[in-house]
Amino acid sequence: MTDAITIKKLTYAYPDQEALFKDFNLSVAVGEWLAIVGHNGSGKSTLAKLILGLLDFDEGQVTVFGQVLSEQSLSAIRRQVGMVFQNPDNQFVGATVADDVAFGLENHQLPSIEMPAKIERALKQVGMADFADREPHTLSGGQKQRVAMASVLALEPKVIILDEATAMLDPEGKQALLQNLKELKARYQDELTLIMITHDMEEAAMADRVAVIDDGRLVFDEKPETLFLKGDRLRALGLAQPFAMDLQKSLGIMNPSYLTTQELATWLSTLKA
């Protein structure tokens, strides 16, 4: 079976800088939930831009569902891969929520008559259907990000890349967005591949697999259950462990099945009973 995304021998350097990526390899299976983590400047966001052809790489190959990324295949690939960016304000194109979701549909030349149903469906999936006529400046950051998510969902992509999508949100907005992601993944199962770029380990713990990037190198590529047992080595890379793992360590237990605070709390309370 072909992978959703394959990156082979990628080399990329920002103009007048040393190469950020050298012979970089990574593949993402269909239906997988991958987290890409790394400290600031490790190259994780650059990687997302390279996959979507927003930056041109020097050498190597990016393949999306068997299709090699090139000038010609660019628009076809962008139809399959959607992306939610970090800043909620800077990706809001429309004057209202509905107009923003419509923007992508208009680009894809969907007939006007089919748009309202698609927009409503996409907004429902992120719980923002009641906000269709609202203007962006009346929404919270978390709500804007969910609209950005709806705008991507309306285009029915097979892969969604979230580039630090929760970094600028308050805890509440962040939880709502993550909860929403879980629901979407549960609903679409293997039809939706998620790539979550983050420096938040709680988020990374939600993924099936975590790729740790440091200065353009792939340092770890494994399941979160095993990765988070390597607390000291993660810390050396400027990354923290999830709080749940820190707590387990202090308590003298090491059970990698409970990676998020919520899971651990539930487990601990069953122990007491």
Q: 32, 114, 156, 164: which one is catalytic?
A: 164
- Bridge-based pairing of strands 5-12 and 21-28 is antiparallel
What does the block give as tokens for 105? 């549909």
- In angstroms, the CA 260 to CA 202 distance is 6
**CA proximity to 174, closest of 146, 136, 208:** 146
For another protein, give the closer residue by CB, 78 or 234: 78
Contact between 40 and another protein (CB under 8 A)?
A: no
Contact partners, residue 257, CB within 8 Å, separation at least 6 = 225, 263
Contact between 110 and another protein (CB under 8 A)?
A: yes
Give the residue, chosen from 125, 143, 145, 151, that forms a contact with another protein under the rule CB under 8 A. 151
Segment near another protein (CB under 8 A), from 29-37, 130-138, 189-197, 265-273? 130-138
Contact partners, residue 112, CB within 8 Å, separation at least 6 = none
Contact between 95 and another protein (CB under 8 A)?
A: yes
**Known catalytic membership, residue 156:** no
Contact between 160 and another protein (CB under 8 A)?
A: no
- In angstroms, the CA 259 to CA 160 distance is 23
For another protein, give the closer residue by CB, 55 or 254: 55
User: At its nearest, how many Å lie between another protein and the CB of residue 243?
Assistant: 31
Nearest 5°: phi and psi at 117?
Answer: -65, -45
Contact between 236 and another protein (CB under 8 A)?
A: no
What does the block give as tokens for 180? 């929403």
Contact between 152 and another protein (CB under 8 A)?
A: yes
Give the residue, chosen from 12, 85, 131, 258, that forms a contact with another protein under the rule CB under 8 A. 85
Half-sphere exposure of 216 (CA within 13 A, CB side): 16
Contact between 130 and another protein (CB under 8 A)?
A: no
For another protein, give the closer residue by CB, 106 or 170: 106
- In angstroms, the CA 68 to CA 121 distance is 31
Contact set with another protein (CB under 8 A) = 49, 52, 54, 75, 78-79, 81-83, 85, 87, 89-96, 98-99, 102-112, 115, 119, 133, 135-137, 148, 151-152, 155
Which residues does the annotation mark as catalytic? 164
